[in-house]
Structure 1
């Protein structure tokens, strides 16, 4: 007879105690599946992109069919669970098109795939030449059990009109919710309550910190939700959910600064080979030129102001750090301008004003600074410079300081982690107060980041980009296998709290990264 994977208090005496290194060694036979104190007949999932099944930088049908709520719903069917309807994309292309009076506008990219490997690194491309096929204006008929909305923050689930297509240009509405909202004035929580669910899952709050982190801590691009505001909105959301009298499970927020999207690109990727486009001699010549005309003079000027550690000459034999702008530093622009103007060096004198305006808060990146995957393509691209400034000084991250949005500094990492710790305190308190099952997703992320990772039937899963098996090609969202690991955490929490015996999943049965 086929084995099932089980986790429940009722049969705990039958199970082995397992470590994180072998997280799924709980196979037993012939265990009756029961709902315990829960009612799974109408299960509705609330959340963001992680709930929707988003992966590889897009929402597409195969990914949605391997969403963790869909997996959980399949296991619930063994214990009286009903059908689970999702707002499926029409194909596996991904991407969105919005029809406007001026014509169709693509507002979301298609999914990523590995085209090839270059020097061991994946060369990622967009499917269908990044031409989307899904039209937002085509509204689906609901209701839908999977109400995961990519990009949603906690406050968004409460907002009326979040599914109004007219609000997409002003970002007061979400195109993914537009596709399945019951009306233009509907809210996510309102459409949830209208279904009278008997059981729910809630995993929300990641974007309140994640989007800010992926934007390099640049609040002009994305904001970090203040802790007090998060608590206000989260508790309001929980209070709305509790009016349904449904039982449920809620999850906290993983450390977003430890996901592959922020840990894969090193802070010091500039080798002679990289700077020379694979030609070490050309790279060494570039280093000599930069040291003579930029790094050396700046180091001398900054040293005079006790800030020589900000910018040091480049090495030909070691990996060199990116050049970034750190807005937390004292702006030494006026000092740099004055020193360059009085240097006696014709080149520095001519560039004095530019040097002060550009490098006053510049420094080389250091260990602990995080570079988003999306910044990789920007390294070395040319910044438009004022007339008279050599074009070679416009190479972003090399000669021209990376703007705030391209790097999450050590200070900003601490800011994000402090916020997440506060968010998670709020989430755990809400679960305790309402008696809901609780999933410590942050703890699971720590296990994935450990060298030992999580293993099942000889397959090891870690948080390593591409080869770790758990994360998809965007470095933020999970593979089908990763979502199965998450689904098991939800199932274990449900079984523990409600004395049910839902079977766990075999992550190896789901899809991972597709290699060329």
Structure 2
């Protein structure tokens, strides 16, 4: 990215701040807490920006209990820093799943879409579902505006960040710029005139520039920019088609009541490897209306049928998404490097835990059918499903997707947030020469 002068950056950010509306008000006197013992001056006023992970969203829902287990809260605790989150009254809005993918419904009896606190200054300004663009404007898509209003009111994340006069800012954004396409299987617009589900790189870069300018305008002592997660590698809500076929073969040819087409079989009728079985299938197809079966052929439905390619990523689409995520992360890293900020690639940590297994061969942290790709015999395929895929029974994990993944198959569990906070603390220590606890 072309380097711009500090004056130009400030001018651009200031102009954006004016357009975003609202100004710093009477809460200024609340913004000078005692300097933290372990975080030093850097964590006097820590602000975290982002989407669902940063907000503490787990198992398809959010409430005050799980919000206080989110990595920014844990990070602030390590720094002994005052830190406020806009808490949603238990059981939540929406309420979290009570079992994997909501098989037995959600906790509680009704959503509680009200706040349980009202801090004068909000420091965890993350909102579930938001894309990079939504940090700069009031969101417009889906249910995000309702959550944004509940958590932040009418001001943007950027406006809240500036008003908090941060000394340190963390930003984990961009996941939803790729996640919707990954899980939904449609990379382009979902309807006429809509934006692409997979955000174009040029738009992402432009939005990132504006966000970075806004952080520069706020003038923190430091910042941490966190990269975009590649859901194809990290999210168990996406599994190879072979998994669904092999699991269904044990239950009469259906997976959780939905028939699985033979084109998902890892082995063809002629006994040769079936490339369609490597296509990624989203768990969302199991309950999606209008789909009579789980089908691994991207051409199963005719051109023009909205079901064509939905909830399915063929290998070429997987490559496109992966390349786009890599490009997003290159842009984020370049922005951090240009300003002397910290950049963290979460995929490095996720790949580490994705590859770990117990001495008995079971993958306990993340269940992504890791062993299926190299299994060639029926015995090996069966073993691979039991040891590395989401299953119930003796070889499964209590939460189905692995201990680091919550019941929605996408968002980190409480245990994962602890690992994230420890990892981020170590990276911050190395970059800014402070001594946050890392365990």
TM-score (norm 2): 0.70
For residues 251 and 144 of structure 2, the distance between their equivalents in structure 1, rounded to whole angstroms, comes to: 42
Partner of 2:96: 111
Greater C-alpha radius of gyration: 1
Partners in 2 of 1:442 and 1:276 — Cα distance? 35
Determine the C-alpha separation between the residues in 1 that align with 2:244 and 2:142. 35
Q: CA RMSD in A?
A: 3.8
Runs of at least 5 residues in structure 2 that lack an aligned partner in the other structure = 1-35, 191-195, 302-306, 369-389, 391-399
2:85: which partner in 1?
86
- Pair 1:133–1:318, CA change in 2 (3 A): farther
> Is 2:129–2:144's contact at 8 Å kept on the other side of the alignment?
no
Q: Secondary structure at the match of 1:503?
A: coil
Distance change in 2, residues 1:189/1:407 (3 Å)? same
**In structure 1, C-alpha distance between the alignment counterparts of 2:188 and 2:145, rounded to whole Å:** 20
Could you tell me which residue of structure 2 aligns to residue 150 of structure 1?
Answer: 128
Work out the CA distance in 2 between the residues paired with 1:418 and 1:398. Answer: 22
Equivalences for 1:208-247 in 2 at 5 Å? 208-221=177-190, 223-246=197-220, 247=222
Q: Are the counterparts in 1 of residues 38 and 78 from structure 2 also a CA contact under 8 Å?
A: no
Equivalent position to 2:341, from 431, 436, 450: 436
Distance 1:55 1:312 in 2: 32
CA–CA distance in structure 2, aligned partners of residues 141 and 34 of structure 1: 24
Indicate yes or no: 2:285 matched with 1:375.
Answer: yes
Q: Deviations over 1:57-109 (max 9, x none)?
A: 111222101000000010111xxx2x2111111003441xxxxxxxxxxxxxx
Question: Does 2:164 match 1:195?
Answer: yes
Report the alpha carbon displacement of residue 372 of structure 1 after superposing the two structures with TM: 1.2
Counterpart of 1:60 (choices 59, 63, 78) is: 63
Q: Alignment partner of 2:407: what SS?
A: coil
Q: Is the 8 A contact 2:86 2:152 kept in 1?
A: no
Q: In 2, Cα distance between the equivalents of 1:319 and 1:397?
A: 19
Give distance in 2, aligned partners of 1:219 and 1:423.
17
Instruction: Give runs of aligned pairs for residues 254-273 of structure 1, distance below 5 A.
Output: 254-264=229-239, 266-267=241-242, 269-270=244-245, 271-273=248-250
Between the aligned partners of 1:171 and 1:124, the Cα distance in structure 2 is 23
SS of match in other structure, 2:328: helix
Cα shift at 1:430: 1.0
Return 5+ residue gaps in structure 1 as ranges.
1-31, 96-109, 116-121, 296-308, 322-364, 384-393, 454-458, 506-516
Aligned-partner Cα distance in 2 for 1:63–1:310: 37
Tell me the TM-score normalized by structure 1: 0.60
Whether 1:174 and 2:79 are equivalent positions in the alignment is no
Paired position in structure 2 for 1:133: 112
> Aligned to 2:281, what secondary structure does the other structure show?
coil
Structure 1 residues 48 and 277, CA gap change in structure 2 (3 angstroms): closer
Compare the two structures and name the one with the higher strand fraction. Answer: 1
Query: RCO (CA 8 Å, sep 6+): is it higher in 1 or 2?
Result: 1
**What SS does structure 1 have at the residue aligned with 2:241?**
coil
- Deviations, residues 235-279 of structure 1 (Å, cap 9, x unaligned): 21011101122112111122221123344463453455544569x
CA distance in 1, matches of 2:37, 2:61: 35
Q: Which residue of 2 aligns with 1:461?
A: 365
Distance 2:406 2:264 in 1: 36
Number of residue pairs matched by the alignment: 353
